[in-house]
Structure 1
């Protein structure tokens, strides 16, 4: 509930704010407020994920009316042995390298990060989940270290150089162009296994 109130306040505030500096100050203030609410919920042990039935009508309608694709004849491929798999991560955590363009509300594009990148930031718009775990250990949402360990132990063939992140709050249909671009990049790098991590 608090998350939806914060998002509504952001929407109204941005319409009222006349300058970009006022908008930045508003966004920063609301971010601090959201962090306080999340921390308070964590301390009190009352933090829960928002249920669709409890969302305001606007949010409930948006999520309930998303058009999901159906696949009548999926093109399954024969899996390669684990020891020959080159693995790349695709996450909807809206993470990117520090300094990259932040994800916007309902962003349909993606960000790319290298397997050695660890200075990643999250700009996901949803406030309904606790971010404290990934702030302590990036591997909670982007398990690059675990994949490297698996490659070193011979459980998988290798870890791809490039990995990808999308904004999970966006309509999947709008991401199709970007998803095709990611698939093409993966083919060029020889990726044959994708680790999907929805957030």
Structure 2
């Protein structure tokens, strides 16, 4: 069996968390919204601590101008060639800048968030601790909308 099939089988059988209620947010119109990226590519700057192995639930804040980012994603199933040729594959910051210039979005957030994608099955610490902490930092920056780029 291929490693790709093993991963597909594993993901198909992971439990999905259920919530008692669904929070609802009403962002401003897209043309007025400040947009941030939240990626699970494990991106970080050279001066930031690297993500550890499986189960690192921490996050890194990335400044809007950061472009020399290190891809900390470990999966053997992830082909890094596309990222090496164009970081927008996992971190579409240049596309957001273009959308802001043409007025499609109101503004690009001053900071963005990177998590490592190799999380524990329950993702409970991200759901209950580091996820809300990262969201609070984005809200403090005036972010209205987050684009999620799972890697």
Whether the TM-score (by the shorter chain) exceeds 0.5 is yes
Q: Report the number of matched residues.
A: 147
TM-superposed CA distance for 1:65, in Å, is 6.1
- What does 1:2-13 correspond to in 2, within 5 Å? none
Taking the aligned partners of 1:53 and 1:127, their CA distance within structure 2 comes to 10
Corresponding position of 2:87: 138
Q: Is 1:91 matched with 2:45?
A: no
Taking the aligned partners of 1:54 and 1:198, their CA distance within structure 2 comes to 15
Taking the aligned partners of 2:137 and 2:110, their CA distance within structure 1 comes to 11
Counterpart selection for 1:175 from 126, 130, 137 = 126
What residue ranges of structure 1 are gaps of 5+ in the alignment?
5-49
Query: TM-score w.r.t. structure 1 length?
Result: 0.68
Query: TM-score w.r.t. structure 2 length?
Result: 0.88
Q: 1:81 to 1:91 in 2, by over 3 A?
A: same
Q: Which has the larger radius of gyration?
A: 1
TM-superposed CA distance for 1:70, in Å, is 1.4
Taking the aligned partners of 1:83 and 1:66, their CA distance within structure 2 comes to 37
Structure 1 residues 76-128: Cα deviation after superposition (integer angstroms, max 9, x where no partner):
22232111110011001111112311111121101111110001001112111
TM-superposed CA distance for 1:64, in Å, is 5.9
Structure 1 segments (4+ residues) deviating >6 Å: none
Counterpart selection for 2:5 from 51, 66, 71 = 51
Corresponding position of 1:129: 78
Corresponding position of 1:75: 23
